[in-house]
Amino acid sequence: MLEKILLADSGTGHSEEMLKALMDLPSIQKAAVTVLHVVSPQVSAETMTSKWEEGGKVLATAIQSLQLDPTKVSAILRQGDPKDVVCQVAEEIDADLIIMGSRGLKRLQSILSNSVSQYVFQLSSRPMLLVKDDIYVKKINRIMVAVDGSEAAKQCLQLALFLLRDIKGGQLILAHVDKGAATPGEKDPVLAEAIAEAKKQGIQPRAISTTGKPGEEICRIAEENNVDLLMLGSPDRRPSIAKSFVDLDRLLGSSLSDYVRVNANCPVLLARTVG
């Protein structure tokens, strides 16, 4: 399911560490990796030359650090607006996953500071794995999926099962947050379908059903269970004609994926489905 991975490497943060942790999974080891570094346009030839040299060093350092099969890795150094270039390259290589670092800025801060990761998430329909600058990337063993019955959540579950299938001792946590009354474990109808799917693929999940504000509860459950990777379905509800525009209403409004992106204490994989 993950055959082409795009690592958008700014030279800072923990995105390289995240890719290393991901590539340790047996199910991912045959994936092709593209490492991208973007150089912003400059006002003088001298500055441009300097930035291109710096960019080349960032890519060289990343390739050396990742220690991946050379036949499976390619590097791209490109000039332009980072958020636009990341989206363009993801389309060019038909990426199954985009990995990016994130400063964990809140919605309004993201707009005012021209956050690359937030804008790429808004404009791309591809799954994204966001790694905040202030978290510790661990070996992936415990994966949590937020389940809500949506197609995006179902896609997330399939991806989690794909990642876990060859991990010895791997754990799957399924969490459903109901705004009403919680139904324990397998009796929760939303969780029951996900549990059955996991068991069908030979994985015995731990099911957690609770009530409250979904974003807060998802982050709490992830922290209490020491989760290594949190996966969340995030439907893209914008019509095709609006794909090239940032959804400011959603940025400024109450987005579950945005809350989790900012507040979770572990890497967050946001699976996209057009809804």
* Per-residue pLDDT, 254: 53
- Give the tokens for residue 83: 């958020």
| Dihedral (CA of 228, 163, 20, 270) sign | negative
Enter the pTM of the model: 0.85
Note the Cα 9 to chain centre separation in Å.
14
pLDDT band at 113 (very low <50, low <70, confident <90, very high): very low
Q: Three-state DSSP class for 267? A: coil
Burial class (CB in 10 A: 0-12, 13-18, 19+), 245: exposed
Tell me the Cα Rg of the chain: 19
Burial class (CB in 10 A: 0-12, 13-18, 19+), 164: buried
Spatial separation of the C-alpha atoms in residues 271 and 28, rounded to whole Å: 17
Spatial separation of the C-alpha atoms in residues 29 and 234, rounded to whole Å: 26
Burial class (CB in 10 A: 0-12, 13-18, 19+), 113: exposed
Q: What are the tens digits of pLDDT across the range 219-257?
A: 999 999 999 999 998 765 443 434 444 544 444 445 788
Between strands 128-132 and 268-274, the pairing is: antiparallel
Does residue 175 have a pLDDT over 60? yes
Spatial separation of the C-alpha atoms in residues 77 and 15, rounded to whole Å: 17
Q: What are the tens digits of pLDDT across the range 25-58?
A: 999 989 999 999 998 887 678 888 888 888 888 8
Return the beta strands (E) in 142-267 as ranges: 142-146, 171-178, 206-211, 229-236
